[in-house]
Structure 1
Amino acid sequence: MHRHTDAGVARPSGVIGMTPRPALPDTANIATWQLMALRRALGTLVAVGAAASAEADHKREMHRRLDTLGRARGDEAVQWATLRVLLLLARVTRIDGLLSLTLNVDEACTPLYHATSAFFRNGTVARDRLKPLADAVRANDPGAARRAADDYFSATEALMLAGLA
């Protein structure tokens, strides 16, 4: 991932339907920005699809996984519980490729998670960050899910990028 450092590459102004992000500092790794953009776009796509497809059993499982996340302590436990919520969202879409992509993007983000783990140690805080997204999915509201996903992925992206600074 670190072999693609090129501060001279122009950053797109944003992705359709998502809030544009400020440019990273010139010293930032463009591959890191690309990974964050992919994570944000995929997360939004998954959230909207999950909100359109969630059924009662998915909503009950979402509630259980959020409870587990809220009780998690320590960076690995919190990251694992968060991933389980995000994987459930991908599974709810019934599009196998989204589940695979979610796993692959999470794997690609692992070095970032380790480098910024201090921001992700408290399960209650992590649950509270993710709850508006889960609530929108449980309400079967794709528009609210899109907004909540953008907020969630923007907030966690900002934490990770701040941790790398």
Structure 2
Amino acid sequence: MAGVVASLALILSPWLSLVALPQQPTLCELAKHRAAYAGQVLTVEGYLIASQHGSSIGDPRCGYGIGVTWRSEDSPDLRQLSTLADRFEIEAIMIQLRVSGAVRQDRSITFAGEPSWLLELSDARILRAQPLRQADWYRYMNWLAGPSPAPFVPSR
């Protein structure tokens, strides 16, 4: 029993009830409880959304995600991520990845009056990078917004 308790992070929710969170959350769990994981280095899987204004990784199963930032000179995998993020801005492409990084608050960016949370990447593994037909792009972006329990299937 002591091992189970030690492997859980405990936080106080806004409703003053105790909530147990896993040490290694899914992206959905991280997105819902960002502050509880502040400063920790985590690994999560999701889908990249990139633009000139910033990038995020999202999980369509819950419709949540987190902003991501990285320095492409840090590793070959992060350079590959930069290349794919640039492609995402100009062509229809589905990018599924597993990333690792530190959870931190970025006070320079606010959303709905609250400081933004980011995952500062130290590693990224591309699991799938699949070009999509332009006709599938709108459907894909809606799927990413979630919640979408089924995987995305491009038209043939």
**Greater CA radius of gyration, 1 or 2?**
2
- Higher normalized helix content (fraction of residues): 1
Query: Relative contact order (alpha carbons < 8 A, sep ≥ 6): 1 or 2 greater?
Result: 1
- Higher normalized strand content (fraction of residues): 2
